[in-house]
Amino acid sequence: MRAVVQRVSHARVYVDHRLKDQIGQGLCVLLGIEKGDTEEDMQWLSHKIVHMRIMDDDQGVMNRSVKDTGGDILLISQFTLLASTRRGHRPSYDRAAPPQEAEAWYERTIVQLQNDLGKPIHTGTFRAYMQVELVNDGPVTICIDSRQKE
């Protein structure tokens, strides 16, 4: 699994030009699911997202997690995170999990994040055309790959 985690002051996701979900302070997470991802990948990634210390403490130092601050998470599925640009000018998405497999992992990741965070996760709609609007706070953007453990 591959995630792009952005610390946000607020974020919204629209589906069919209608507001689907939104959060205030927290994390907007774009999630790509790769062929062969496992339960271990999903659990590791969820734990990393929820406990990563990228939220400011009272002194303005990134020393708190989204869980510590009571912030929210907006999770958006995005298969294009698995793009390979090695050859030519058209990215290849061969590494991305097939839609049925990816959707099952996406749903399981929502449940895992909810359990780890201790509250509901906000989401987009799997396989929908979405528009994501956010204010990246910092800016703080972290890329995480469960296969690389980084």
Q: Is the separation of the CB atoms in 117 and 67 below 8 Å?
A: yes
Of 30, 13, 22, nearest to 78 by C-alpha is 30
pTM greater than 0.85 (yes/no): yes
Segment 20-42 shows an average pLDDT of 98
Which pLDDT does position 150 carry in this prediction?
A: 75
Q: What does DSSP say about strands 55-56 and 62-64: parallel, antiparallel, or unpaired?
A: antiparallel
Which pLDDT does position 149 carry in this prediction?
A: 86
> Was domain 2-145 assigned CATH 3.50.80.10?
yes
Distance, CA of 121 to CA of 28 (rounded, Å): 11
Residues annotated catalytic, as ranges: 78-80
DSSP 54: -
pLDDT tens, residue by residue, 45-82: 999 999 999 999 999 999 999 999 999 999 999 999 99
Domain regions of the chain by residue span? 2-145
Q: Is the pLDDT of residue 20 over 90?
A: yes
